[in-house]
């Protein structure tokens, strides 16, 4: 799949072709070859755009108005999964995952970019970190927890849509502050904002209400924000250390 929101503005055709048509191709194979199997679609909180309920959360019933080609492609895939489920009586579910990170996150994503930058700066391999909008807020969880949620979605007694989230939000600035504090540094001394990393249409806040998944699936996240950031920073410090041994 194509999963980088900022890059989707540069390659919108590829983004739609991969995420929407790719999902449709899989659904056609599923319908025609193994209709008794179970199908999980990795949907995205980017489908909501800047729509948010009055209580400050986004949930399964929140209106969806994506603000990027990536978000549009995921919404199209989300809709075709629902259509195939209802039209052909297939076990096809959508997991609406909010941001999920791990040490394996690609270094062109902001979370890994921060973790890698902190590691490099702490080891005197760099002296600054360029980022875009520091005030964007995201509901950041650990991929380890979210993969367990995906499995639970497929074990549920019926197909459905489920928001998977921590129900807490932190800004990019918070991520920087936490990451730099792990190496006893102040992010303000190293982080530089660069307009080229800001999206053409910015998405300011994502905060998911995963109450439905917690009740129906018995799922709870095991990692908090601090442990996630530490996991990622530790990984990159070790990676740099190993590279210089």
Whether 70 is a known active-site residue: answer yes
Whether 102 is a known active-site residue: answer no
The CATH number that applies at residue 96 is: 3.40.50.720
So what's the pLDDT on residue 70? 96
Q: Which of 8, 44, 136, 165 is catalytic?
A: 44
For residue 126, give its domain range. 5-243
How many CB atoms lie under 10 A from the CB of residue 45? 26
The pTM for the full model equals 0.93
How many independent structural domains does the chain possess? Answer: 1
Percent of the chain exceeding pLDDT 90 equals 90
How far apart CA 144 and CA 150 sit, in angstroms, is 10
User: pLDDT (tens digit, 9 = 90+) per residue, 21-35?
Assistant: 999 999 999 999 999
- CB-based contact 166:141 (threshold 8 Å): yes
**H/E run at residue 97:** strand 91-97
Average pLDDT, the chain: 96
Q: Which of 30, 43, 45, 46 is catalytic?
A: 46
So what's the pLDDT on residue 113? 97
What number is the average pLDDT over the span 223-241? 97
User: pLDDT (tens digit, 9 = 90+) per residue, 130-174?
Assistant: 999 999 999 999 999 999 999 999 999 999 999 999 999 999 999
Residues pairing with 58 in the sheet: 208
Whether 44 is a known active-site residue: answer yes
E strands within 102-188?
129-131, 137-138, 141-142, 161-164, 170-171
245 pLDDT higher than 70: no
């Amino acid at each position: 799949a194509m999963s980088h929101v900022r890059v989707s503005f540069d390659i919108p055709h590829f983004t739609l072709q991969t995420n929407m048509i790719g999902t449709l191709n899989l659904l056609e194979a599923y319908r025609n070859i193994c209709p008794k199997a179970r199908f999980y679609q990795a949907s995205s909180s980017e489908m909501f755009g800047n729509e948010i309920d009055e209580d400050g959360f986004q949930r399964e019933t929140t209106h969806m108005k994506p603000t990027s080609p990536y978000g549009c492609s995921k919404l199209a895939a989300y809709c075709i999964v629902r259509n195939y489920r209802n039209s052909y009586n297939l076990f096809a579910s959508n997991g609406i995952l909010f941001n999920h990170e791990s040490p394996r996150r690609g270094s062109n994503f902001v979370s890994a970019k921060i973790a890698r930058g902190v590691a490099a700066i702490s080891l005197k391999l760099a002296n600054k970190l360029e980022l875009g909008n520091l005030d964007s807020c995201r509901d950041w969880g650990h991929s380890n927890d979210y993969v367990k949620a995906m499995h639970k979605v497929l074990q549920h007694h019926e197909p459905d849509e489920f928001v998977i989230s921590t129900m807490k939000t932190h800004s990019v600035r918070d991520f920087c502050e936490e990451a730099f504090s792990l190496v006893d540094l102040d992010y303000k001394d190293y982080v530089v904002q660069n307009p080229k990393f800001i999206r053409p249409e910015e998405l300011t806040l994502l905060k998911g209400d995963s109450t439905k998944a917690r009740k129906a699936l018995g799922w709870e996240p095991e990692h908090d924000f601090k442990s996630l950031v530490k996991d990622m920073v530790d990984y990159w410090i070790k990676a740099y250390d190993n590279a210089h041994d």
